[in-house]
Amino acid sequence: MLTNITMGQYYPVDSRVHRLDPRIKLILTIAFIVCVFLASNFAGYILLSAFLFAVCRLSNVPFKMLLRGLKPLRIILILTFLLNLFFTPGDDVWVSFWIIRITREAFLQALFYSLRLMFLVAGTSLLTLTTSPISLADGLEILMGPLKKIRFPAHELAMMMTIALRFIPTLLDETDKIMKAQMARGADFESGNLLSRAKAMVPLLVPLFISAFRRAGDLAMAMESRCYHGGEGRTRLRVLKITKNDMIACVIMAAFIAMLILAGRFIPF
Amino acid sequence: MRNDTHILAENVSYTYDDAAAPALSHVNLTVRQGEFVAVLGHNGSGKSTLAKLLNALYVPTDGCVAVCGFDTRKEELVWEIRQRAGMIFQNPDNQIVATIVKEDVAFGLENLGVPTEEMIPRIEKALSVVRMSKYADSAPHMLSGGQKQRVAIAGILAMEPAVIIADEATAMLDPSGRKEVLDTIRMLNRQKGITVIWITHFMEEAADADRVVVVSDGEVQMDGTPREVFSQVDRMRQLHLDVPPMAALAEELRKAGMPIRDGILTIEEMVQEVEKTLCQSKSAT
Amino acid sequence: MSIEVRHLTHTYSEGSVMRTVALDDVSFTVEKGEFVGIIGHTGSGKSTLVQHLNGLLKPSAGEVLIDGEDLNGEHVNRRALRQRIGLVFQYPEYQLFEETVAKDIAFGPKNQGLSAEEIDGRVRYAMDCVHLDYDKYSASSPFELSGGQMRRVAIAGVLAMKPSVLILDEPTAGLDPRGRDRILTMLEELHAREHTTILMVSHSMDDMARLATRLLVMAEGKLLADGTPREIFSRTEMMKGAGLDVPAAARLCQALRDRGIDLPTELYQADELRDAILRLWRQGKEATGC
């Protein structure tokens, strides 16, 4: 029922993209996000799509997995599209009746905004699909390392993120189980108005929270018993090393940014 | 103290912060290197509290615990102790930290500050000992309960412990998972000489331990070989524990007047004894 | 109330690489008042099967008939049918959520739309069934109870709906011997007193030997065998093939018979085996005149 959420789920295969240093991947993802905002015309969007598709192919992650990550967003996407479509001012009117007015400008903006959202989510999903949460956390921890000097808890944050990611599938399974158990007691999660539906969630959420707290307590004890004592003096199984592969990736990204800027400048559509 | 004493608990009492009565009182326990000690007790008997005292997760309110000679009351020794006394818990899901099996096995080593080059062979070895090498790159939530527990064991094993304390490590598993985990621990005990404290409420799992310690109401009630402990059928029942079915049957036959000897635990022993008794009754002329 | 399962098949993730057939052409009928034990290795399809029996899962093929009515039929009031079939999941204590024991048990009856008076009666009845004292526990928080007590509260929550059929998925998993005995005794009483039809999934053959009047053996999604415990436990080879044990008494009986001791076949309960051995011993003594 709830097992088909792929956002933030690692897809464990081997590929050049998987092997990239997580720090580099994080930086490249940020660069990609900047690119998404840099793209100002259709040519840019075509380039972005081509780039995403190519990276996806290179990463051995099925394109379907990437699309599936967009599914939970479909309502927001539709909303973004519609809001922009109806409320963007413009001159070139395509459709007009009653209070509805759709202009060419509005349509283009709606399209751009929803595409932009899709690219952002797909780009970041690609990061999480190809990077194991632990190495992602490692990467983040090192990137944020300099901030430790101003007492920023980089290690703790990274560890929290790892654990959260580790427990997502477990808690999803649990939600499914509790939901079924309450349905067997006659609970109804599907009908009624918004208020009664929110109320119907109580028998689901309370046990889920209790279980999460219990797990947290257990896990804390298990970690302590395995000598966990914060980030100090800790070594890593994965030592991060910048390889030739990483350098190539950076060069490709730089070239891509250049192409995007050029496309925005010189291609007129 | 002899230097092959791995666990020494002297007159240990422990009271939880918000509790009126102690969870453990005046417990004495000495475990020597290589022993396989099963600790039996019903829920709330104090057996889990005992486990946590043996790994310095708790510090005794009274008395003292020493692990391989290290006193758990001394805070600076806590990492020495936890490295030597590895612990496996009941819920397989709630003790796996990482999202990839081998990275979870690495967790303890990372905490100890083991250099990376040294870590890799230790992880590989630990995984191969528990026969989980195949799953080194798998996600833990795809594994069965028994497999998850074996990963947890590998995580402990990589730290090269002297003692493994299993706190109801099989309570949430199905029969085949239980067997998997118990067989793995037994193998570690026999082949690597690792001392094992096996905490359980399954009588079957205690049956071939070297020694059975029965805990109830926070006190050690019995301490002896499985044969000595399990032949006291009535006493075990009083403590709300199961007895091996053959020991129970032997007791009932004895009560009905049949001359069955004490200390029967297995089906083979029972077969021999019944056969003998029946033959005697036939040829007693 | 009878349950009829006809050619039930269930496939997970149809049409993908993960496709697995969890149930494969399973058919059987359970009549009112039976105590059916469902046994099988993990992954044999037991849990999938029980979730079909109250409509939480829909069959890929085949049907489930409750008193002749198709549970997944078009014009069926599924919620009403579902309420007549109480399903207790594994580790049911994890579903408790209310502030008090009484309120939690009342959740099911409330969903059934009963009056406050009726609900109170149901809560008292259910707590009585699971041996929890109403005056002592009804106002306490379920989260302050012991594990075994919490489980009994959860079972009471299902019993309060007065189902005609009670299905339990490993109701004793993770409990210590005392907790386990309480649950089994409670089920035994319920079955004897109210003739509730009970289906129970369990890994413990000794529990099955004690309670079940009939056993269904599942293996790889198929119904491997269906018969009385006596029949099933005497088929040691088949049980071994399905990765299952037989009760200790059945193994002893088999071993004694192998040694030429004249015991009746198919004994599987400790009590009957004890009596049979004693009978032989007394006969031997009488024959020799001592």
Write the pLDDT tens digit of every residue in C159-175.
999 999 999 999 999 89
Given a cut of 90, whether residue B83 has pLDDT beyond it is: yes
**Rounded to an integer, what distance in angstroms lies between the CA atom of residue B74 and that of residue C118?**
60
- What would the mean pLDDT of A115-137 be, rounded to a whole number? 86
Given a cut of 70, whether residue C123 has pLDDT beyond it is: yes
Is A165's CB within 8 Å of B107's CB? no
At residue B285 the predicted structure's pLDDT band, cuts being 50, 70 and 90, is very low
Identity of the amino acid at A233: G
Any residues with CB less than 8 A from the CB of A50 and at least 6 apart, and which?
A: none
Identify all chain A residues contacting B157, using CB atoms and an 8 Å cutoff.
none
Is C261's CB within 8 Å of B278's CB? yes
Given a cut of 80, whether residue B47 has pLDDT beyond it is: yes
Evaluate whether residue B241 is within a structural domain. Answer: no
Is C173 an 8 Å CB contact of chain B? Answer: yes
Is A203's CB within 8 Å of C97's CB? yes
Task: Pick from A158-167, B71-80, B257-266, C258-267 the range whose average pLDDT is largest.
Answer: B71-80
Could you give the number of structural domains in chain B?
A: 1
CA distance C86 to chain A (A): 7
Q: What is the percent of chain A where pLDDT is above 70?
A: 96
Residue C9 tokens read as 């098949």
- Can you give the pLDDT at residue B283? 65
Burial of C220 from C-beta contacts in 10 A (0-12 / 13-18 / 19+): middle
**Rounded to an integer, what distance in angstroms lies between the CA atom of residue C203 and that of residue C173?**
9
CB atoms inside a 10 Å sphere around CB A58? 14
> Residue C96: which of A180, A187, A207 has the nearest Cβ?
A207
- Can you give the pLDDT at residue C290? 47
Cβ atoms of A18 and A59 within 8 Å: the answer is yes
Given a cut of 90, whether residue A146 has pLDDT beyond it is: no
- Can you give the pLDDT at residue B20? 85
CA distance A129 to chain C (A): 19
Identify all chain C residues contacting B172, using CB atoms and an 8 Å cutoff.
173-174
Given a cut of 60, whether residue C282 has pLDDT beyond it is: yes
- What would the mean pLDDT of B220-232 be, rounded to a whole number? 92
Helix (H, G, I), strand (E, B), or coil: what is residue A23? helix
At residue C14 the predicted structure's pLDDT band, cuts being 50, 70 and 90, is confident
Helix (H, G, I), strand (E, B), or coil: what is residue B24? strand
Any residues with CB less than 8 A from the CB of A239 and at least 6 apart, and which?
A: B116
- Can you give the pLDDT at residue B231? 86
CB atoms inside a 10 Å sphere around CB C156? 26
**For the segment C35-74, what is each residue's pLDDT rounded down to a tens digit?**
999 999 888 899 999 999 988 899 999 999 988 888 888 7
Evaluate whether residue B139 is within a structural domain. Answer: yes
Query: If we measure between CA atoms, which residue out of C273, C255, C286 comes closest to residue B282?
Result: C286
- Can you give the pLDDT at residue B284? 54
- What would the mean pLDDT of B246-266 be, rounded to a whole number? 89
Evaluate whether residue B274 is within a structural domain. Answer: no
- What would the mean pLDDT of C266-281 be, rounded to a whole number? 89
> In chain A, which residue's Cα lies nearest the Cα of B139?
A12
At residue A4 the predicted structure's pLDDT band, cuts being 50, 70 and 90, is very low
CA distance B226 to chain A (A): 29
Tokens 């997995």 correspond to A65
What are the distances in angstroms from CA C42 to CA B177, C39, C243?
9, 9, 10
At residue A262 the predicted structure's pLDDT band, cuts being 50, 70 and 90, is confident
Average pLDDT for chain A: 85
**For the segment A8-66, what is each residue's pLDDT rounded down to a tens digit?**
567 878 888 888 999 999 999 999 999 998 887 888 888 999 999 999 999 988 888 88
At residue A1 the predicted structure's pLDDT band, cuts being 50, 70 and 90, is very low
Given a cut of 80, whether residue A134 has pLDDT beyond it is: no
Average pLDDT for chain B: 91
Q: What is the percent of chain C where pLDDT is above 90?
A: 60
Backbone angles phi, psi at B272, to 5 degrees: -60, -45
Choose between B187 and A74: higher pLDDT. B187
Choose between A165 and A16: higher pLDDT. A16
CA distance C103 to chain B (A): 26
Q: What is the percent of chain B where pLDDT is above 70?
A: 98
Backbone angles phi, psi at C249, to 5 degrees: -65, -40
Tokens 């091996």 correspond to B244
At residue B2 the predicted structure's pLDDT band, cuts being 50, 70 and 90, is low
CA distance C37 to chain B (A): 16
Choose between A97 and C269: higher pLDDT. C269
Identify all chain C residues contacting B207, using CB atoms and an 8 Å cutoff.
none
**For the segment B93-139, what is each residue's pLDDT rounded down to a tens digit?**
999 998 889 999 999 999 999 999 999 999 999 999 999 999 998 88
Average pLDDT for chain C: 90
**For the segment B147-198, what is each residue's pLDDT rounded down to a tens digit?**
999 999 999 999 999 999 999 999 999 988 999 999 999 999 999 999 999 9
Task: Pick from A98-112, A186-200, B67-81 the range whose average pLDDT is largest.
Answer: B67-81
Instruction: Return the half-sphere exposure (C-beta side, CA atoms, 13 A cut-off) of residue C59.
Output: 24
Identify all chain B residues contacting A214, using CB atoms and an 8 Å cutoff.
94
Is A166's CB within 8 Å of B110's CB? no
Residue B167 belongs to domain spanning: 5-224
Any residues with CB less than 8 A from the CB of C267 and at least 6 apart, and which?
A: C249, C250, C253, C273, C276
- Can you give the pLDDT at residue C288? 64
Is B271's CB within 8 Å of C256's CB? yes
Is B284's CB within 8 Å of C288's CB? yes
Given a cut of 90, whether residue A190 has pLDDT beyond it is: no
**Rounded to an integer, what distance in angstroms lies between the CA atom of residue A75 and that of residue A78?**
5
